[in-house]
Amino acid sequence: MCLRQLPLVFSFLALMVSLPAIRASSIPLIKPKVGDPVLQELMGGCSLRCAFFWETLAGSSASTMAPASELCDDDAKSAWISRTSGPGEIIQFRIPKKLPPDCRDTPFYGMTIANGVIRTREEFQGYARVKTITLNVNHKPIARLHLADTWRWQDFHFEDIQLNEGDLIELTIDEIYPGKTSQQPGITEIVLQGAH
């Protein structure tokens, strides 16, 4: 390689290093509307489940994905707790590969999240909570969600996305709020909003 090519090589390397930051800043950052406390009597209700069910998995890589049904079980006493310290952990919602004809092009327009392990105040403070999470649909970045450090319901809304057979909704944890005794973040419930 000749010396005249060195500036070009360094420019290319600088561009490659900055691409993740460019991609992250090109998607919207959505802050929540914080609502009611997460109480068992307020669990359930209308959601994307009015159209179909899905499979919920979590893991730190494609090879470590495991069922995480406690994320969508309408139970304020159960919680999903990451097996890692959080950043990089992936949560997937896999839409069935066969849907009834009237469920195709089903709108998906938001999420309601109960952040943290909320069974007791001690557990909420003890475990880490999610601070920011990136939403992807079929591997396309949609938005970064900035969660509040509260045990109240948090609503996030975005432009309608039409879901179809075999689609994949994926959340990747970017940052956490530290816990007093554990840096493993927990989430009590994620409600996918849509269908109506």
CA 81 – CA 78 distance, rounded (Å): 10
pLDDT of residue 10: 47
Going residue by residue through the chain, which has 196 residues, state the pLDDT in tens, using 9 for 90 and above.
Answer: 555 654 544 454 454 444 444 455 689 999 999 999 999 887 887 889 888 999 999 999 989 999 999 999 999 999 999 999 989 999 999 999 998 888 899 999 999 999 999 999 999 999 999 999 999 999 999 999 999 999 999 999 999 999 999 999 999 999 999 999 999 999 999 999 998 6
- 29-194 has which fold? Jelly Rolls (2.60.120)
Longest CA–CA separation in the chain, Å: 71
pLDDT value of position 102: 87
How many other C-beta atoms can be found within 10 angstroms of the C-beta atom of residue 109?
A: 16
Q: What is the pLDDT of residue 148?
A: 98
Q: Which helix (H) or strand (E) holds 113?
A: strand 106-115
Sign of the C-alpha dihedral computed for residues 26, 27, 28 and 30 taken in this order: negative
**CA distances in angstroms from 112 to 87, 107, 172, listed in the order given:** 20, 15, 16
Residue 147 · residue 132 · CB < 8 Å: yes
Q: Are 87 and 122 in contact (CB under 8 A)?
A: no
What whole-number distance in Å separates Cα of residue 73 and Cα of residue 98?
A: 22
Task: In whole angstroms, give the CA distance from residue 45 to residue 74.
Answer: 9
Q: What is the DSSP letter of 109?
A: E
> CA torsion angle for 139, 88, 179, 177 (degrees, to 10)?
-50
Closest CA relative to residue 164, chosen from 94, 95, 93, 91:
95
Strands 140-146 and 29-30: parallel
Residue-level pLDDT at 101: 87
